[in-house]
Every structure is written in structure tokens, then in C-alpha cells.
Amino acid sequence: MSFAPDTAEIIARARADLRMGVPVVLVGDGAGALVMAAETLDAQRLADLHALGGQPVLAITARRAETLKARAYDTDLARVAVPPDASMTWLRGVADPADDLKSPMKGPLQTLRDGPADLHRVAVTLTKSARLLPAALVLSLPAPYVFAGENALTLVNAVRAADLLSASPYPHPVVSARLPVEASEAGRLHIFRPEDGGEEHYAFEIGSPPRDKPVLARLHSACFTGDVMGSLKCDCGPQLRGALAQMGAEGAGVLLYLNQEGRGIGLANKMRAYSLQDQGFDTVEANHRLGFEDDERDFKLGASILKSMGFDQVRLLTNNPRKIAMMEKNGIDVVERVPLKVGETHHNRGYLATKAAKSGHLL
């Protein structure tokens, strides 16, 4: 019998620590490192880090490194050597693109090419999964277990964590209840909780769709700005309401509402991307400058939820071919793509054009 947390639970604890500005310790393959999220780091902990000695490194993604004209010798990330006199302003300037146009010269930045980057890779992935800027301050530790114990820091096995962080957490059903809505009085809301302790996801079922026939379905990613606030910068709100209306008209359907705001980067980073769009960058360019890929969402979650509800065939309401491919790859037969072209305004015309040109959306 053991009450100790397993690796998934330790990762959840590490995410919370990083969001609060508390460091964590990574260990793996005989190495260990102190890790801090660049976004939540404060001046006192930075000073304490410098006092430890050694060469701290700011690990950033290759996307962010490309913007900064820094060499990413590790292919998917760059290890930027942190100068001994590096200030909070310097670190934030490298990690956050908010002032890139105002202060374009960040360097010259020295990036490391020798030695393993495994711990740095896990550190960046952890900050991403915590919905923070994908940038981590990393310092090698000679005695990581002792350091973690003396400072009451969460200790993460990086080898085990890497596998879990790259996997899609299985969403377990929690509860469902009847929920009449404007689109249909015959509605039922199902709540699913992923086993990694992440945000819950929802499935809204209209009517009683037969499980042996294709169900009209929509994979909808959470969009607070569009779904709740009625933002004119995207077409998410109209798509949500349009999908529900069509399911209500047919008397049956399933709308999956996945809490993957901003294409999986979180609402805070999405607002950072909006600020960059105000500077003239399109939505894809903004994501790249922040250090993210075009789309960080995990659509396997949707397939898992549909299968757990008994569906394996769908008529998918989407303009995104990637959703179709991911459904097919994960065991859901997409028998028909049902277009959902709604919500174009003069505010989002450029955004929609970018989705079509750079993400292959069928608009």
C-alpha cells in the first residue's frame, strides 16, 4: 500500500507549482536540474538562482528561437545561455514577444549545442502544459534529490514524465444530467475528467442518437471570447450556435466542448496572440512568435469521448480537414463532412483567410 503520488499526479503538482512561480526539480539519466517558468519567475528567485553558481539556461522552443534569430541546435528547442548579470527584463524579453517590435535586438544570443537537452525539453513541455509561455529557466544541479528535499520542491522523473506529457490523457465520465436549452429541450450534458488532472471536457447530447448509425457531431474547442462574449474576431460563437441549431432541427446530435482555448494554448496566451495581431501579425505568425505551433490541440480527446459514449461513426460538422484525419486515425469513421460556414464579419475576414491559406480550412 502506498499513499505516494504517481507520475501523473506529480506532473499535475508540478504544473501548479510552476503557475505559482515555485520551482520544480527534474531528474533523469543521472542528471538533475532546477526548473522555473520564465513567465512566473520573480526577482528574488532569480537572484537566488544566480547565487547557486553554474550556467543557467533559458530553454525556448524552436519557433521562438526562429523569431529571435537564435540557433536551435536541438532541433525543436534552443538552450539560450543566460548572462551572469541577466535581469528580469532580459529574461522576459527573450520569453515574451510583447515588445519584439519595440525592442527587436535581444542578443546576440548564445545557444548551446553540446550536451543532452532531455531535461530542457521536458521543462518546456511542462510550461506548455501549464498554459504558460513555453520558456523555462534551467540550472543543472549536482545533487538534485538533496536539493529538492532541502527546499521542499516537487521532484519529477523526467523520463517517465516525457512519456505522459506526450500522451493523450483518457477522459473518464463523471456525471450526466438533463439540460434543456434553446436549441433543444431534449438535451443532456455529460462531464468528462481527464486522468492527468487537467481541465474537464463536455459532451452535449441532443435527443437519443442511435449508437449503430452515424451521429451528427461537432468537435468545438472552448472559446471564451467568441462563445461567451460574442467576439467578432473569430467565427467560434456562430459555429457553436449553428451546430446546436442544426442538431436541434434534426432532433439528434453530439457537440463535444473541449477545454482547449486558443487552439490549445490557453486564454492568457490567446490574448497575447491577439495583442500581436494588433501589431500586424496573422494568427499563425502570432502563435509562432509566442513559441507555439499553429495548433496545439489534442483531438484524440474527442475520439475517446465519442467511443466511451458508444459512437464510432459520425457526420462531422467541420471546415477543418485535420479534425477528420484525427478522428479517422483514432477509430472514428467520418462518413460525411458537414460544412459549417457561418459568422464571417469584416473583423474576422483576415483571420478566416489565414485559416484557409495556412491551416487548410475549407472555407
Catalytic residue positions, numbered: 295, 297
Whole-number Å distance between alpha carbons of 65 and 119? 18
**Burial of 87 per CB tally in 10 Å (0-12, 13-18, 19+):** exposed
Residue 71 and residue 111 in contact, taking contact as beta carbons nearer than 8 Å: yes
Q: Is 262 left (phi over 0), alpha (psi -120 to 50) or beta?
A: left
Beta-carbon contacts of residue 329 (< 8 Å; ≥ 6 apart): none
**How far does CA 103 lie from the centroid of its chain?**
27
Beta-carbon contacts of residue 249 (< 8 Å; ≥ 6 apart): none
- What's the CA angle centered on 43, arms 40 and 45, to 5 degrees? 75
